[in-house]
Amino acid sequence: MDKVTKNKPKKTPGRLSLAVVNPDAAGIDISATMHAVVVPEGRDKEFRREFGAFTEDLQEIARWLTHCRITTVAMESTGVYWKHLYLVLVEHGFTVSLVNARHVKNVTGRKNDMDDAQWIQKLHSCGLLTSSFLPDEHTEKLRTVVRHRRNLLQDSSRYVLRMQKALEMMNIKIHSVINDITGKTGTAIIEAIIRGERKGEGFLKHVDPRIRADKATIVKSLTGNWRDEHLFCLEENYLQYKSVQQRIASCDSKIEEYLQYQVAQANEGVIEAPAVQKTRSKKQKTKNQPVFNVTSYLHKIHGVDVTQIFGISEGSALEILAETGTDLSKWENAKKFVGWLNLCPNNKISGGKPISSRVMKKKTSTAAQAFRAAANSVQRSDNWLGDYFRRMKSKGGNKHAIVATARKIAIIYYKLVTEKVNFKPVDADEYREKYKAAKISYLERQLTKLKATA
């Protein structure tokens, strides 16, 4: 007997549709030598194309996107390769969103750049991607030069260490007798060594009267084994150090030029000469800070003196300005700002309960490093931020205290710049009494609970 089979309806997989927010959106996957570009289907014969990374290729991408009636573009931030294409697209009038690679992670089955670009295009069409912070043109210029200056300072410190090593290899101990071999006395002694001076007594005329070490100790420290190869290395590293110092001075001049332009923007095109400080400031300049009056420029740009915040030096304030710009309203509130700086816990909640509150592991930005350095500098200070640092350190250690204090300093900075109010520090004694009262209140509540359960 034949079996009778019934025609069963075919099962069609359900399709999840999302509302299209950006119908004229394109997605681009960036690499060093090739860019994969995807536009909505039907805009051209091919909706997926590959382009090179030369300048003429970037111009061709802009022309093709214009032909396809694209208005907004999303691309993944890959190294520095995105910057050239970003500038070209902005010049052609496109709205460009630079998205974090964490937000466009690959899904199973997509193994090539073209599929990645198509995935970015789909997410951007549905409005699921958030653009990273991108500075304006003038802030970008300042940022580039300030970062270059910071790299030069690191190079300078390396040459100083190599000079110290060359001296140590000759058993010359002058770098352990004076605080800084790049100061007035140290520089004069090294130049004398390069000129051929070898007797310890011959260096005494170059010693500044402010040096605390006695003459006999200085003479002993400058008596050693003058080997030719180490003298050569000492001279080479000293010349490199002097050259880097000249480049740093050139950077200072360029930075001051950009700050003058920002002052003119904030002052309706009028550039005023920075005021000369007649009284000594509580925060003295260090040798690594710019030679011009940075505080005066920052005050005119922000409308408030951000260097009054405990721990914020001229150098730190300049780096923060170069990284964040003058308009902090791009972050909705202070919480968004410290979140962007990665100075707050990355809370993970499941089932209504927090399962993790660690700070996200990622490369620390220059602005975040500046706030962390400011926090580290107040740990021995006799003010309320110093007390807060030490209290956080007793709870979770030094790293925890640095992040927590840096977060508090960043919030203060955000409020000063956005609300244009002067820094009003809390009285240290008042802060300690307030904390003591809060702790007593907490212990009294705990005692009440214990008595209730007894």
Mean pLDDT of all residues in 77-82: 83
What per-residue confidence (pLDDT) applies to 289? 85
> 226: domain range?
139-265
What per-residue confidence (pLDDT) applies to 12? 46
Higher pLDDT, 7 or 330: 330
Q: Is the pLDDT of residue 114 over 90?
A: no
260 and 277 fall within a common domain: no
When pLDDT is cut at 50, 70 and 90, the band that residue 2 belongs to is very low
Mean pLDDT of all residues in 424-443: 89
What per-residue confidence (pLDDT) applies to 285? 65
Mean pLDDT of all residues in 390-397: 90
Least confident of 1-15, 93-107, 299-313, 401-415: 1-15
When pLDDT is cut at 50, 70 and 90, the band that residue 80 belongs to is confident
CB 34 within 8 A of CB 113: yes
When pLDDT is cut at 50, 70 and 90, the band that residue 350 belongs to is low
| Domain end marker among 68, 102, 125 | 125
In a domain, 177, yes or no: yes
Burial 434-452 (b: 16+ CB within 10 A, else e): eeeeeeeeeeeeeeeeeee
At a CB cut-off of 8 Å and minimum separation 6, what does 64 contact? 37, 44, 49
Q: Is the pLDDT of residue 338 over 60?
A: yes
When pLDDT is cut at 50, 70 and 90, the band that residue 5 belongs to is very low
Least confident of 207-216, 351-360, 381-390: 351-360
* Residue showing tokens 């602005």: 367
CB 61 within 8 A of CB 73: no
Q: Is the pLDDT of residue 38 over 90?
A: yes
In a domain, 366, yes or no: yes
How far apart, in whole angstroms, are the C-alpha atoms of residue 371 and residue 321?
12
CB 141 within 8 A of CB 34: no
Q: Is the pLDDT of residue 417 over 70?
A: yes
303 and 380 fall within a common domain: yes
For the chain, what is the total number of helices (H) and then of strands (E)? 15, 7
Q: At what angle do helices 366-377 and 398-419 cross, to 10 degrees?
A: 110
73 and 184 fall within a common domain: no
What per-residue confidence (pLDDT) applies to 3? 47
At 399, list the tokens.
Answer: 């790293």
279 and 418 fall within a common domain: yes
How far apart, in whole angstroms, are the C-alpha atoms of residue 37 and residue 335?
35
When pLDDT is cut at 50, 70 and 90, the band that residue 267 belongs to is confident
DSSP result, 20-31: -S-TTEEEEE--
In a domain, 208, yes or no: yes
How far apart, in whole angstroms, are the C-alpha atoms of residue 277 and residue 266?
22
Closest alpha carbon to 403 in 339, 347, 344: 344
CATH value at residue 88: 3.30.420.10
In a domain, 134, yes or no: no
In a domain, 384, yes or no: yes
